[in-house]
């Protein structure tokens, strides 16, 4: 026999994991992954059958989809977007660029993978990944949404999360006199 409290807990877990609203942030790659995300959201793949809704407002989103390499220009914007999201939330890094910079690795303005900026829960490999793989990544992240990040069991992430603000201390290059 299951009590009302446990029943409510089960319902909340089900609701949280079955309603992944995504917000998309493009760090500035080649837009290949972005096109695949758009493809995923068309009726062909029908992501809405899993409750996926594409929202334009990070405050209302549960999953942050990131494409492109982390770079000096938009690191702060990416972090702000992540910070504006309300727990429970998750980050899905899509494509090679988000893992280590991809083909832009080593470029003067590129910081590397987005784990330098935000904690990454799921990496979707590929350059670009297929829409099915992105959907798989979203569903894997949705399973994590049952609890806020602080209550989730710790697991060794592919790119270990950096504490907030660390990225500020470590720009790898100096772009001008102001940075010196």
Partner 1 sequence: MLPQMVLLAATAILALAAPLGVGVALGFDRQATAAVQRRLGPPLLQPLYDLTKLATKVGGPADRLLAGLVLAQLGLSAAALVLFATGGDLVVAVLLLGAGHVMFVLAAASVESPYAQLGASRELVLLVAREPLLLLVALAYGQVAGSTLVREIVAARPLLLEVPTLGITCTVLLGIALCKSPWDIATSHHGHQELVKGSTTEMAGRWLAFAELGRWYEVAFVVAVIALAAGSAMVFGMLLAGLAWAAALLLDNALPRATWRSALGMAWGIGGASAAVALLMASVGGGGLWP
Residues 123-162 that bind partner 1 (CB under 8 A): 148
Instruction: Decide if residue 6 touches partner 1 (CB under 8 A).
Output: no
Stretch that binds partner 1, among 41-49, 110-118, 129-137, 159-167 (CB under 8 A): 41-49
Total number of residues binding partner 1 (CB under 8 A)?
A: 29
12 binds partner 1 (CB under 8 A): yes
Shortest Cβ 172–partner 1 spacing (Å): 33
DSSP H or E segment with residue 111: strand 110-112
Pick the closer one to partner 1 by CB: 10 or 172. Answer: 10
Q: Between residues 56 and 156, which has the closer beta carbon with respect to partner 1? A: 56
Q: Which of 126, 121, 116, 149 is nearest to 16 (CA)?
A: 149
Q: Which residue has the tokens 């490999």?
A: 125
Give the β-pairing of 122-124 and 110-112: unpaired
Does position 60 bind partner 1 by CB under 8 A?
A: yes
Give the nearest distance from C-beta 34 to partner 1 in angstroms: 13
Nearer of residues 53 and 161 to partner 1, judged by Cβ: 53
Q: Which of 47, 50, 59 is nearest to 23 (CA)?
A: 59
- d(CA 171, CA 59) in angstroms, rounded, equals 28
Least distance between partner 1 and beta carbon 26 (Å): 14
Nearest to partner 1 of 50, 100 (CB atom): 50
- The enclosing H or E element of 100 equals helix 96-100
CA-CA distances (angstroms) from residue 165 to 13, 91, 93?
31, 17, 19
Rounded least distance, CB 119 to partner 1, Å: 16
User: Is the bond leading into 109 cis (omega within 30 degrees of zero)?
Assistant: no
In 3-state terms, what secondary structure has residue 113? Answer: coil
Q: Cα(147)–Cα(63) distance, rounded to whole angstroms?
A: 13
Interface residues toward partner 1, by CB under 8 A: 11-12, 14-16, 18-19, 21, 41, 43-44, 46, 48-51, 53-57, 59-60, 62, 84, 86-88, 148
């Amino acid at each position: 026999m299951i009590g009302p409290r446990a029943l409510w807990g089960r319902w909340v877990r089900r609701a949280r994991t079955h309603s992944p609203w995504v917000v998309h942030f493009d760090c500035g790659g080649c837009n290949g992954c972005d096109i695949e995300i758009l493809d995923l959201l068309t009726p062909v793949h029908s992501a809405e059958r899993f409750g996926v809704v594409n929202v334009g407002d990070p405050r209302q989103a549960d999953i942050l989809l990131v494409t492109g390499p982390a770079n000096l220009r938009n690191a702060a914007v990416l972090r702000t977007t992540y910070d504006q999201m309300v727990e429970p939330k998750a980050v899905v890094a899509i494509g090679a660029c988000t893992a280590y910079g991809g083909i832009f690795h080593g470029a003067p303005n590129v910081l590397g993978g987005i784990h330098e900026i935000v904690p990454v829960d799921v990496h979707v490999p590929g350059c670009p990944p297929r829409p099915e793989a992105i959907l798989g990544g979203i569903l894997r992240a949705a399973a994590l949404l049952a609890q806020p990040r602080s209550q989730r069991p710790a697991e060794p992430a592919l790119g270990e999360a950096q504490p907030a603000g660390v990225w500020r201390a470590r720009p790898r290059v100096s772009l001008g006199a102001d940075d010196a």
